[in-house]
Amino acid sequence: MASFDIAHLTQSLHAVRREWREAHGRSQEPGAREFPSREALATIVDQLKGALFPMRLGPHDLRQESEDIFVAHQLDTALHALLGQIRLELRLGGAHSSLSADAMALDIARAFAEALPQIRRLLDSDVLAAFHGDPAARSVDEVLLCYPGVLAMVHHRLAHQLYLLGQPLLARIVAELAHGQTGIDIHPGAQIGRGFFIDHGTGVVIGETAIIGERVRLYQAVTLGAKRFPTDEQGQLRKGLPRHPVVEDDVVIYAGATILGRVTLGRGAVIGGNVWVTYDVPAGVHVTQAHARERRQPAQEVAA
Amino acid sequence: MASFDIAHLTQSLHAVRREWREAHGRSQEPGAREFPSREALATIVDQLKGALFPMRLGPHDLRQESEDIFVAHQLDTALHALLGQIRLELRLGGAHSSLSADAMALDIARAFAEALPQIRRLLDSDVLAAFHGDPAARSVDEVLLCYPGVLAMVHHRLAHQLYLLGQPLLARIVAELAHGQTGIDIHPGAQIGRGFFIDHGTGVVIGETAIIGERVRLYQAVTLGAKRFPTDEQGQLRKGLPRHPVVEDDVVIYAGATILGRVTLGRGAVIGGNVWVTYDVPAGVHVTQAHARERRQPAQEVAA
Amino acid sequence: MASFDIAHLTQSLHAVRREWREAHGRSQEPGAREFPSREALATIVDQLKGALFPMRLGPHDLRQESEDIFVAHQLDTALHALLGQIRLELRLGGAHSSLSADAMALDIARAFAEALPQIRRLLDSDVLAAFHGDPAARSVDEVLLCYPGVLAMVHHRLAHQLYLLGQPLLARIVAELAHGQTGIDIHPGAQIGRGFFIDHGTGVVIGETAIIGERVRLYQAVTLGAKRFPTDEQGQLRKGLPRHPVVEDDVVIYAGATILGRVTLGRGAVIGGNVWVTYDVPAGVHVTQAHARERRQPAQEVAA
Amino acid sequence: MASFDIAHLTQSLHAVRREWREAHGRSQEPGAREFPSREALATIVDQLKGALFPMRLGPHDLRQESEDIFVAHQLDTALHALLGQIRLELRLGGAHSSLSADAMALDIARAFAEALPQIRRLLDSDVLAAFHGDPAARSVDEVLLCYPGVLAMVHHRLAHQLYLLGQPLLARIVAELAHGQTGIDIHPGAQIGRGFFIDHGTGVVIGETAIIGERVRLYQAVTLGAKRFPTDEQGQLRKGLPRHPVVEDDVVIYAGATILGRVTLGRGAVIGGNVWVTYDVPAGVHVTQAHARERRQPAQEVAA
Amino acid sequence: MASFDIAHLTQSLHAVRREWREAHGRSQEPGAREFPSREALATIVDQLKGALFPMRLGPHDLRQESEDIFVAHQLDTALHALLGQIRLELRLGGAHSSLSADAMALDIARAFAEALPQIRRLLDSDVLAAFHGDPAARSVDEVLLCYPGVLAMVHHRLAHQLYLLGQPLLARIVAELAHGQTGIDIHPGAQIGRGFFIDHGTGVVIGETAIIGERVRLYQAVTLGAKRFPTDEQGQLRKGLPRHPVVEDDVVIYAGATILGRVTLGRGAVIGGNVWVTYDVPAGVHVTQAHARERRQPAQEVAA
Amino acid sequence: MASFDIAHLTQSLHAVRREWREAHGRSQEPGAREFPSREALATIVDQLKGALFPMRLGPHDLRQESEDIFVAHQLDTALHALLGQIRLELRLGGAHSSLSADAMALDIARAFAEALPQIRRLLDSDVLAAFHGDPAARSVDEVLLCYPGVLAMVHHRLAHQLYLLGQPLLARIVAELAHGQTGIDIHPGAQIGRGFFIDHGTGVVIGETAIIGERVRLYQAVTLGAKRFPTDEQGQLRKGLPRHPVVEDDVVIYAGATILGRVTLGRGAVIGGNVWVTYDVPAGVHVTQAHARERRQPAQEVAA
């Protein structure tokens, strides 16, 4: 006798899938899976890392004389693969003819490509920030190879570009690849200026409409999230409104601090560890737990 | 001269192993390693994911017409491999003859197989909850592919079934695979109702005897843990007693909140961010930091 | 027409790299990449794990009669590979001739090798601590295979040895490999006594100059960090000074607690969940949130 | 200075490709390579082998209870992949619209699929023939696993079906995969009856229009080739004409024999080692070197 | 509509398998495949090659100081794997209880292991013979790495030992692995003395009962086969009788020569290219095509 | 008790190796293996194939617009890897200082690189010759993908260049890679003109000093070998002398023919199947078996 009644089990799972598809108007699935692939994007991001930092994140035996040849090949491979993934996301939208989707995909991929030199410049500034921000760092190379905060920013700056170009799903996958590896969860929509540094990083959450200036420094478990006032709403969440903090240049936010809602931390402000902030902080002010406690509002919930 | 004195080093490590084995009464190891394998379970879980969601988590070129054939093959492969792992865990218990262990293993694997359709139904409800709970989600597909909270629940619902069937070690390995990937640490013993959603997720810890109702929503860094009163004990930990919270239907717990001990959060309660709760919360009540602070007990420790 | 103007893009990225190199005095890169490799160290650590715990972390079909042969081969392979990585780190320092760097590398690798039996002994004590510290643990084998806290300690004890031997970059990479997998961030410089156990673990951060005694237990999201008093400094960070806590034997620190600065937690002290401590705690004292709040200093920042 | 002038070299190779394409009217290559793939066909043939002989050429841990599930999955995977390769070959022909090529490809793939049970039957007869024909064979399983002559026939019977269905290029690739592995070169066009056995096999060549009856046995280095009379032709090779031998039932041809042209070896004939035959051999006759020498024609060339 | 009716096709193939099994009394297959594996043996042979010639056929970065450690590990791994394959072949015989088969398998594997040093010595003599026999050879290393004739002898000497120890199926698989790679087909039963060299090699066939002395040299396409006199037999092939040539010391056989039947080539004889020999050749005699033709018997067939 | 006495066995093998090394004056092996690698050369040849025929032997999804980028990258990777292999062969020679060997290696690798465009041109002529020479060929693409004779020529033309540049060992390895795959054994020293075609190919052997003109066609099992007259020599083989045939333009040699010694086949000569030729053949003459037999010399041996 067989160990398992696979045929029956297969039928039961088939029935559950049919239920789901009928409930969601999907009984007509396309022939083949037409969905962006986490594995494909992981490969693309790895290739782009090699193209951006060939002598550090490229193959271990790369020689400087071969850099440009390697970079050209990585770009060529990665951009064509990305083009394919962009097509898949555009088609999911469903409004496009296949032809116009292809043309649009090419425009988007080209715009993404053109942004790469500027992304490298921004990442250089992040690497320097990490090097200067951590007394333990011995070289910029160490920072690029070891620091999870730098890895998260490489992913974020690529993901943000995809987000700006109208590819939120691809952007999200790129961001989650870093989140899984580092415990740092930055929404691709967040706008982050040059010289940004997250130390340690595990548990950091940065929301979609956050705006962060230049030379900002964060430690682990910092949340830049949204406030929610359920009683003020008639059961309807309004989307897309600015709901996360604005952090101006040269701000430092220590570990475990929580900043909620569309508040502004003024230039050079310092937020102490574990502090809870739901109000504007003027430029240059140091907020400690003691200060913070006095200012707390009576009812609040946190979600990024 | 050789670079290393490998023979001497090997002997030293042999001596340390012998010390350990003698100290733990294990000088008679079995001939071969008879222990469940993390790698084997990782493969099994991947195959089960493909069997549960063939067009999303199966091979990228799967076509709908081939779904049932693919599902049958994945099930067949995964269940036989799981059967082997169950045998290993049963033998570790040591009380069984090889023959009865094999029969018992088959019963367990079959019971696990029969639970799969219901597990898929529960996961469908979790996917929907994530889709409705996150204003940024664009499709149920995106949620299934990207959200660490959904990944954690796929692992948990499989791990919980193994736990119920008396395979705590296999269950634990399945849970830790998701913990490593997502930073979400759900004990396989936790009972979780349909439509459960964890947003962001890094740092969430849910203890073994927690009971969670339907449509509950959690944010990052929430702990559903146990209280400990060391002075009340005569040096003896009592195991297996209910020691984690009961969370009723439609509760929302915001980021960083800590709920400790066998307390009950009543239906529809809302726990604010960073709040510390060690008491029952009535249905429908919103707990904020201000409320919470007034209620705090003088001495407590937290462990999940 | 080509989809992408790869030649132009390659030139632009070349220009950015040249900018960077000129700005950092690196226009004369060596011919080939001479930098330790994350992948190489991941392989080395895996081999050392197999050499330390052959019947648990070695190949699944290893038999006890072959243990020593397997261990010898793993050691031989891992130590020669490590020797190569040590050479790369020494050369980065730049002060050494190639010849003396090679001799020095061999000395370091040999010293590392000689420390392995003692590292195994320490790890045995950590495994036992985890087994006794978690009421849910069923066997020491389960602990070794499943617990992220144990994985983090395997990496830490190897990384710490590299740190002591003057290889901070290799040590850092080994530590980050565990950080990525477990969410536990232990600086390789931290001194940790035998029988150390971290439960759950996500979000734990332990700083470079922390000193931890024997039989200490930590839960998730505990920080042993540094305090910063920016107003006390004339813009100059002083490096290498003791700036993280000293934790004496038998201390327990519950989830989310934050201990900052060169303070001492006396033998047997217990720190409650989420407690914030920036002062010495006498031996045997239990610190709760209520106690802690009364003692708080007015201004502080947290960074590990 | 760079080791190689890659740019110059790339240009030179580009120039050679352009010369070739212009000389062959191919300056307008399609965007992507549209050509059947040797690797893809190797995978397909391996999957079909598993589907035909699941307990011998399938995965080593297959159990009989899972045979049909495994076979269904292999067929499903292999036939869809083959469908893709057939489309590529049809498009190379160039006369078809994409739509009609797809429909035609499906018809061909279905016809191929329907032939598989009969192919298995024929291969069973070949396996038996090998078992009975070689005194050293101990079991039919040994024959299926070890004998290059059987491997060549598995490939040939699949390749011949593709040839019959108008896919000469795919058929050729399948045949060459076996040729490379065994040194046996059977043109996919050759018609071969049941119970065919080639012993040793290296150097055997069988031409496109050869017709072989039932229970025929061949040894190594046998050629069933074509004669060529260059002086009889006006510089024009005529294609497709029957030009290779007809070998009737129960014939045996010993090692190194060469049979040329559209001659017939009658039922039960035996051709001795190294014999050269360019004439009909009546049924039952044994041809030896001595006989053969007397019959030789004055001028001949051999090509299969 | 589905592209293929996989269910129907699976049933048809099931029916063909059932036919076959019923026809061969195998309707009761064992649960799992219990048959030696070509892939497993390929791995074992590769490991043994590394153990026999560590600095040439071992890993490219092996250092001499690590040779013994590497060799011990390869032996340990390869011999245990071989033990498993021997068990499978013994069980195929069917006469043994599982217990006695295991004990017998261990005896066989140990005897095989003890023969390895002598096999290495013989192979050294073959390598030297190739080096001295080919004017183009520049070093013994080149010979070991490049010459197909040497590869064939490595396989043969291992296969012959398995054959002597009563494992004809394993021996055959090892031999066929070399046959597929080199086109040289040596039956594992053939007895071959030291210093044997085959140049070029493609098409060489050496039969089961051939006996070859020391320092013999062969070129491509030489057959040492059996004669068959079908009219002398009453339809019954007699097995195991000596039926292949005896080749004494220092014989040279040039390309394409065919030696058939239990004849003896005396010490130092030289057989010219393409010569056909079915009679004893005295020591020291040179046989040319002219001589050979005069001696030919009227009727003969060739099979190895 | 252990299954095998690995320590004893390791010692025995050590003793055999020591014997060998002492006998050959090699007790002082270098620390690490310094020998060209078959695997490395296999990879290099595959990369060069892709660089020479990007749209046919490059990656299956290459697009024409990316050809040059792909080619540049393949060349860069392959040539640097080849440079490393050339260094290893030069050092084996032993006469060079490390420095001058490196400079010499670079000169050789550059000369090899410069020959690639001409090699592609020659291979184009071979592909055309195969297409025109085989009535069954349907396209030049089929020929390039399927024909073992073309594969052998790709390897030969690369190997011959290495041979000309003084790298006989690398050349030999490249040639043997094709020999193993095709059964065609062309010595890298052989000089072969444009438009060369080998049909079927198994068993072809072409010797080191053979010279072949343009548009020559060969079939399977043809030998262009050396004669040996042992009685003419005083026990000393003289190396490097021209000893293989000269084949002028437009010659055709049918299957199984053997041409021995420094004889010349004149322009347009045709050699019939299985013919044995040890004398000059005038231009335009057709040699058949009948003719050949009359001319045979009394004593000859064949070796390539």
D192 within a domain of the structure (yes/no): no
Distance from CA of C212 to the nearest CA of E (A): 39
Query: Which residues on B lie below 8 Å from D76 (Cβ)?
Result: 66, 69-70
Phi, psi (degrees; rounded to nearest 5) at C258: -125, 120
Residue A274 identity (one-letter amino acid): N
- What's the pTM value of the predicted model, to 2 decimals? 0.92
Residue A61 identity (one-letter amino acid): D
Query: Which residues on D lie below 8 Å from A1 (Cβ)?
Result: 65
Distance from CA of A228 to the nearest CA of B (A): 10
Q: Mark whether D173 and D219 lie in a shared domain.
A: no
pLDDT digits (tens, 9 = 90+) for E188-204: 999 999 999 999 999 99
Computed over every residue of chain F, the mean pLDDT equals 89
Token pair listed for B96: 């069984």
Probe site for chain E from B1, B5, B6 (most E CB atoms < 10 A): B6
Q: Mark whether E153 and E207 lie in a shared domain.
A: no
The closest alpha carbon to D85, from D33, D40, D32, D45, belongs to D40
Tell me the mean pLDDT in the region F224-237. Answer: 63
pLDDT of B87 strictly over 50: yes
pLDDT digits (tens, 9 = 90+) for B227-248: 864 444 455 556 678 999 999 9
Q: How far apart are CA E259 and CA E252, in angstroms?
A: 12
CB spacing of D14 vs F68 below 8 angstroms? yes
Q: Which residues contact C155 (CB under 8 A, 6 or more apart)?
A: C45, C174, C175, C177, C178
Token pair listed for A251: 């701000």
Element containing residue A227 per DSSP (H, E) = strand A223-228
Distance from CA of E190 to the nearest CA of D (A): 13
Q: Give the residue carrying structure tokens 């031997």.
A: C165
The closest alpha carbon to B120, from F37, D20, A14, A56, belongs to A14
Domain that holds residue D278: 203-229+240-304
- At A300, the pLDDT band (50, 70, 90 cuts) reads very low
Tell me the mean pLDDT in the region A274-294. Answer: 87
Q: Following CA atoms A293, C276, A276, A181 in sequence, which dihedral angle do they give, to the nearest 10 degrees?
A: 180
pLDDT of E32 strictly over 90: no
Find out whether A222 and A204 touch, Cβ atoms under 8 Å: yes
Question: Based on the number of CB atoms within 10 Å of its own CB, is F102 exposed (0-12), middle (13-18) or buried (19 or more)?
Answer: middle
Q: Following CA atoms E54, E59, E62, E64 in sequence, which dihedral angle do they give, to the nearest 10 degrees?
A: 10
Q: Return the number of other C-beta atoms located less than 10 Å from residue D206's C-beta.
A: 26
Residue A241 identity (one-letter amino acid): L
Q: Return the number of other C-beta atoms located less than 10 Å from residue A93's C-beta.
A: 12
Interface residue ranges in chain B relative to chain D, Cβ cutoff 8 Å: 63, 66, 69-70, 72-73, 76, 80
CB spacing of A24 vs B140 below 8 angstroms? yes
CB spacing of F3 vs C69 below 8 angstroms? no
Tell me the mean pLDDT in the region A132-158. Answer: 91
Phi, psi (degrees; rounded to nearest 5) at D280: -65, 145
pLDDT of E35 strictly over 50: yes
Interface residue ranges in chain B relative to chain E, Cβ cutoff 8 Å: 1-3, 6, 65-66, 69
Probe site for chain F from A77, A79, A85 (most F CB atoms < 10 A): A77
Q: Mark whether F177 and F211 lie in a shared domain.
A: no
F3, F239, F301 ranked by CB distance to E273: nearest: F301
CB spacing of A110 vs C3 below 8 angstroms? yes
Q: Mark whether C109 and C71 lie in a shared domain.
A: yes
E strands, A19-110, in order: none
Token pair listed for A155: 């992913």
Token pair listed for F234: 């005083």
Q: Following CA atoms A230, A235, A240, A242 in sequence, which dihedral angle do they give, to the nearest 10 degrees?
A: -30
- Nearest chain A residue to B72 by CA: give it: A10
F190 within a domain of the structure (yes/no): no
For chain B, the chains sharing at least 3 beta-carbon pairs closer than 8 angstroms are A, C, D, E
Kindly list the distances between the CA atom of residue B45 and the CA atoms of A16, B78, B81, in Å, as whole numbers in the listed order: 19, 8, 10
pLDDT of B253 strictly over 50: yes
D162 within a domain of the structure (yes/no): yes
The whole-number pLDDT of residue C236 equals: 52
Q: Mark whether B159 and B276 lie in a shared domain.
A: no
CB spacing of C124 vs B12 below 8 angstroms? no
Q: Is B63 helix (H, G, I), strand (E, B) or coil?
A: strand
Q: Mark whether F290 and F245 lie in a shared domain.
A: yes
**What angle is formed at CA B283 by the lines to CA B282 and CA B288, rounded to 5 degrees?**
65
Q: Mark whether D51 and D126 lie in a shared domain.
A: yes
pLDDT digits (tens, 9 = 90+) for A95-131: 556 678 889 999 999 999 999 999 999 999 999 999 9
CB spacing of F2 vs C69 below 8 angstroms? no
Q: What is the complex's ipTM, to 2 decimals?
A: 0.90
Query: Which residues on E lie below 8 Å from B3 (Cβ)?
Result: 65
- At F91, the pLDDT band (50, 70, 90 cuts) reads confident
B302 within a domain of the structure (yes/no): yes
Q: What is the CATH number of the domain that holds A163?
A: 1.10.3130.10
The whole-number pLDDT of residue B296 equals: 53
Q: Mark whether B117 and B173 lie in a shared domain.
A: yes
pLDDT digits (tens, 9 = 90+) for A222-247: 999 998 644 444 555 566 789 999 99
Distance from CA of E171 to the nearest CA of B (A): 28
Distance from CA of C62 to the nearest CA of A (A): 29
B6 within a domain of the structure (yes/no): no
Query: Which residues on E lie below 8 Å from B66 (Cβ)?
Result: 2, 6
Q: Give the residue, D296 or A84, on which the prediction is more confident.
A: A84
Tell me the mean pLDDT in the region F252-279. Answer: 95
Report the phi/psi class of residue C66: left, alpha or beta, with left for phi > 0 and alpha for psi in -120 to 50: alpha
Query: Which residues on B lie below 8 Å from A176 (Cβ)?
Result: 146-148
Residue D36 identity (one-letter amino acid): P
Question: Based on the number of CB atoms within 10 Å of its own CB, is B1 exposed (0-12), middle (13-18) or buried (19 or more)?
Answer: exposed
pLDDT of E299 strictly over 90: no
Query: Which residues on A lie below 8 Å from C30 (Cβ)?
Result: 64
pLDDT digits (tens, 9 = 90+) for D93-114: 765 566 788 899 999 999 999 9
Q: What is the CATH number of the domain that holds E210?
A: 2.160.10.10
pLDDT digits (tens, 9 = 90+) for A32-59: 567 899 999 999 999 999 999 999 899 9
pLDDT digits (tens, 9 = 90+) for F126-156: 999 999 988 778 788 889 999 999 999 999 9
Kindly list the distances between the CA atom of residue A287 and the CA atoms of A198, A250, A281, F272, in Å, as whole numbers in the listed order: 19, 15, 8, 99
Q: How far apart are CA F185 and CA D66, in angstroms?
A: 45
Question: Based on the number of CB atoms within 10 Å of its own CB, is A103 exposed (0-12), middle (13-18) or buried (19 or more)?
Answer: exposed
D28 within a domain of the structure (yes/no): no
pLDDT digits (tens, 9 = 90+) for B275-301: 999 999 999 999 987 676 666 544 445
pLDDT of A189 strictly over 50: yes
Q: Is F281 helix (H, G, I), strand (E, B) or coil?
A: strand
Element containing residue B224 per DSSP (H, E) = strand B223-228
CB spacing of B205 vs C202 below 8 angstroms? yes
- Nearest chain F residue to A71 by CA: give it: F73
The closest alpha carbon to C44, from C169, C170, C188, C161, belongs to C170
- Nearest chain A residue to C7 by CA: give it: A72
- At C298, the pLDDT band (50, 70, 90 cuts) reads very low
Helix H, strand E, coil C: the string for chain E is CCCCCHHHHHHHHHHHHHHHHHHCCCCCCCCECCCCCHHHHHHHHHHHHHHHCHHHHCCCCCEHHHHHHHHHHHHHHHHHHHHHHHHHHHHHHCCCCHHHHHHHHHHHHHHHHHHHHHHHHHHHHHHHHHHHHCCCCCCHHHHHHHCHHHHHHHHHHHHHHHHHCCCHHHHHHHHHHHHHHHCCEECCCCEECCCCEECCCCCCEECCCCEECCCCEECCCCEEEEEECHHHCCCCCCCCCCCCCEECCCCEECCCCEEECCCEECCCCEECCCCEECCCECCCCEECHHHHHHHCCCCCEEEC
Query: Which residues on A lie below 8 Å from C221 (Cβ)?
Result: 203, 221
Token pair listed for B162: 């193994």
Token pair listed for E6: 């996989």
pLDDT of A299 strictly over 50: no
The whole-number pLDDT of residue B96 equals: 59
Q: How far apart are CA F245 and CA F235, in angstroms?
A: 24
C-alpha C24 chain-centroid distance: 29
Burial A39-52 (b: 16+ CB within 10 A, else e): ebbeebbebbbbbb
Q: How far apart are CA B228 and CA A108, in angstroms?
A: 56
Measured N-to-C along each axis, helices F98-133 and F148-164 cross at an angle, to the nearest 10 degrees, of 150
pLDDT of E272 strictly over 50: yes
pLDDT digits (tens, 9 = 90+) for D226-254: 986 444 445 555 667 899 999 999 999 99
Q: Return the number of other C-beta atoms located less than 10 Å from residue A62's C-beta.
A: 23
- At C1, the pLDDT band (50, 70, 90 cuts) reads low
Burial C218-238 (b: 16+ CB within 10 A, else e): bbbbbbbbbbbeeeeeeeeee
Query: Which residues on E lie below 8 Å from B69 (Cβ)?
Result: 6
CB spacing of B116 vs A13 below 8 angstroms? yes
C18 within a domain of the structure (yes/no): no
Query: Which residues on D lie below 8 Å from E37 (Cβ)?
Result: 60
Report chain E's C-alpha Rg in angstroms: 23
Range of weakest confidence among A149-163, C242-256, F3-17: F3-17
- At B268, the pLDDT band (50, 70, 90 cuts) reads very high
- At E96, the pLDDT band (50, 70, 90 cuts) reads low
Candidate ranges A194-203, C132-141, C287-296; pick with highest mean pLDDT: A194-203
Q: How far apart are CA D26 and CA A102, in angstroms?
A: 26
Q: How far apart are CA F25 and CA C190, in angstroms?
A: 53
Distance from CA of A26 to the nearest CA of C (A): 35
pLDDT of F269 strictly over 50: yes
**Helix boundaries (H) for F191-280:** none
pLDDT digits (tens, 9 = 90+) for C157-181: 999 999 999 999 999 999 999 999 9
Q: Mark whether A169 and A282 lie in a shared domain.
A: no
B14, B20, B183 ranked by CB distance to C68: nearest: B14
Probe site for chain E from F200, F205, F289 (most E CB atoms < 10 A): F205
Q: Mark whether D43 and D125 lie in a shared domain.
A: yes
Q: How far apart are CA F138 and CA F130, in angstroms?
A: 11
The whole-number pLDDT of residue C152 equals: 98
Query: Which residues on B lie below 8 Å from C273 (Cβ)?
Result: 225, 258, 260, 276, 300-302
Rounded percentage of chain F residues whose pLDDT exceeds 90: 72
Question: What total number of domains does chain A contain?
Answer: 2
Q: Mark whether D106 and D244 lie in a shared domain.
A: no
Find out whether B24 and B18 touch, Cβ atoms under 8 Å: no
Token pair listed for B251: 């509760």
Find out whether B87 and A29 touch, Cβ atoms under 8 Å: no
Q: Mark whether D156 and D223 lie in a shared domain.
A: no
Tell me the mean pLDDT in the region F249-273. Answer: 96
C235 within a domain of the structure (yes/no): no
Q: How far apart are CA D73 and CA B62, in angstroms?
A: 12
C63, C73, C80 ranked by CB distance to E73: nearest: C73
Range of weakest confidence among A77-86, B291-300, C112-121, C281-290: B291-300
Find out whether C266 and C281 touch, Cβ atoms under 8 Å: yes
The whole-number pLDDT of residue F105 equals: 95
Tell me the mean pLDDT in the region A195-223. Answer: 97
pLDDT of E255 strictly over 50: yes
Q: Give the residue, C33 or B23, on which the prediction is more confident.
A: B23
What is the β-pairing status of strands B223-228 and B270-271? Answer: unpaired
Probe site for chain E from C64, C71, C76 (most E CB atoms < 10 A): C76
Q: How far apart are CA D72 and CA D80, in angstroms?
A: 12
Q: How far apart are CA A260 and CA A299, in angstroms?
A: 12
Q: How is residue D300 annotated by DSSP?
A: -
The whole-number pLDDT of residue C289 equals: 78
Dihedral over Cα of E211, D132, E87, C56: its sign: positive
The whole-number pLDDT of residue B230 equals: 44
Distance from CA of E23 to the nearest CA of D (A): 11
Q: What is the residue-level pLDDT of chain D in tens, covering all 304 positions? A: 688 899 999 999 999 999 988 888 775 555 556 789 999 999 999 999 999 999 989 998 898 899 999 999 999 999 999 999 999 999 887 655 667 888 999 999 999 999 999 999 999 999 999 999 887 787 888 899 999 999 999 999 999 999 999 999 999 999 999 999 999 999 999 999 999 999 999 999 999 999 999 999 999 999 999 986 444 445 555 667 899 999 999 999 999 999 999 999 999 999 999 999 999 999 999 998 767 666 654 444 555 5
